Structure 1
Amino acid sequence: MFNHEKKDIFFDLDHTIWDFDKNAEESLHELYFKYKFDNLFNQASSTRFIETYTINNHRLWGLYHHGKISKPELRKARFSDTFTELGVDPKLFPEQFEQEYLTICPQKTNLFPNAHETLSYLAEKYNLHLISNGFKEACETKLEKSNLGRYFKNIFISEVIGVNKPDPRIFHFALETANAQAQQSLMIGDNLDADIRGALNVGIDAIFFNPNVVEKPKDVSHMIIDLKELQAIL
């Protein structure tokens, strides 16, 4: 399947192992009613609020990956833009809501199916590492609460390193620190831009994790829809 035997595997965290959308949905649903957003938005269900937030959050993370917005700008805009789209003055957004969200969400432990099983299998055969564009405090909490840190020899967090995927520098830093060779390494992630093309651009093979089964682009050779498929591939 690959031109060279693999020794080091680099994983993304959010949307690849840790189910960001599911964990965020649970957290936002709880807080929606705690802060009486059902009255504020005149919506008895939290569905529209969560859907709007999710779209905005994904868009803003795309900008953050490329350094076009900062961490504070991302965190502010994802809720203020959601309020604006839903016809409510963003000045009415309670700051404490976000603080609670930032505390609650990373403690959630919903992972994609077969995550522990697959990581345990791979850790016996390969050196596993993590490269995340997530924020330091949130990543550390997710890894601890979900008992994921034990699988990885190195954990690279972009906020600590100072550059985000797909910047080649974060991949070169990870390879050098892990004492890994690009041709003998593999990147697994959900984000075509940050994870897949970012890795391919520095000579690292990549597997597109695609649980939503969107159409695979022509420039992407390898794709899985369930983490368990890695046990057959590797």
Structure 2
Amino acid sequence: MMENQRVLAIIFDLDNTLVDTAGAGRVAIQKVCDLLNSTQVQESHIANICELFLQKLLHESFDPSEGRTIDDVRIRHWYEALQEARGTDPDPALASSCYYTWKNTRLQVLDLSPEVRTLLEELQEKYKLLLLTNGDSQTQWEKIKAVRCEGLFSEVVVGGDHPEQKPALSIFTYCFEHLGVQPRDCIMVGDSLSKDIQGGINAGVKATVWINSDSRCIPPGSVTPDYTVPSVLNLMDVLAELS
């Protein structure tokens, strides 16, 4: 049972919670495939090149103190993917073209749907809203600016600007302090069990809401969210139950 106390604030994740980053990524990869098809790269290598890039992206480690930008790191991912798939050293210009085609397409496609924007505008009238997103500072701020959502939140917090990211307690404590609320006044809404839901539970929020758009099963040993919904657009139902 949830404590009988009114929700004052909602903390939202960004990627695959408010915006379809995965879908935008698929469109971006297809653009790179089209680019590679127009070059001397063998068609049989193209799918493997893109898959190698996505694996490198998934396991990416980035430390800005090393003097490289995230753009440098991701151009290198494409360079290595081209090299590994073809067995020869690629033209660095091709790796750069692949990266900027992927990056720019993803930012162009990424958007806050009219329905989600309307939801946030309605919630803004009753609750304090905060956007809390993990990731490299440059990358996440580029996404936030691309979808033009800053004005919908009391505060926008990007994990890459802080010593620790979700699920660390420190970044949640920072959010509570800047909202001027207690953890029990907040709910956490996100698509990641290990970061959003675990972080919210660790921080002591009133409730956690898991966005499970593709009907995933909760893995054994994972945390259990208080609520599971297929879309952030179902959040009003959760809030009605919590009120």
For the superposition of Structure 1 and Structure 2, which TM-score range results when normalised by the shorter chain? 0.7 to 0.9
Query: CA 1:178–1:41 in structure 2 vs 1: closer, same or farther (change >3 Å)?
Result: farther
1:228 aligned onto 2:233:
yes
Q: Give the letter aligned to residue 126 of structure 1.
A: Y
CA distance in 1, matches of 2:48, 2:125: 43
Q: Displacement of 1:180 after TM fit?
A: 1.7
CA distance in 1, matches of 2:18, 2:237: 18
The aligned counterpart of 1:88 is 86
CA distance in 2, matches of 1:127, 1:216: 29
Question: What are the Cα deviations for residues 158-199 of structure 1, in whole angstroms up to 9, with x where unaligned?
Answer: 111232111111111111122121001111000111111011
CA distance in 2, matches of 1:220, 1:80: 40
CA distance in 1, matches of 2:140, 2:34: 26
The aligned counterpart of 1:118 is 119
Q: Percent identity between the aligned chains?
A: 20
Length-normalised TM-score, structure 2 = 0.77
Query: CA 1:56–1:192 in structure 2 vs 1: closer, same or farther (change >3 Å)?
Result: farther
The aligned counterpart of 1:75 is 74
The aligned counterpart of 2:65 is none
Q: Which runs of 5+ in 1 are unaligned?
A: 65-69
Answer yes or no: is the 8 Å Cα contact 2:37–2:43 preserved in 1: no
- Bigger mean CA offset, 212-221 vs 188-197: 212-221
The aligned counterpart of 1:101 is 102
CA distance in 1, matches of 2:158, 2:123: 21
Answer yes or no: is the 8 Å Cα contact 2:28–2:103 preserved in 1: no
CA distance in 2, matches of 1:182, 1:54: 36
Q: Which runs of 5+ in 2 are unaligned?
A: 63-67
The aligned counterpart of 1:2 is 2
Higher radius of gyration, 1 or 2:
2
- Bigger mean CA offset, 206-215 vs 130-139: 130-139
Between Structure 1 and Structure 2, how many residues are aligned?
A: 225
Answer yes or no: is the 8 Å Cα contact 2:78–2:95 preserved in 1: no
RMSD: 3.1
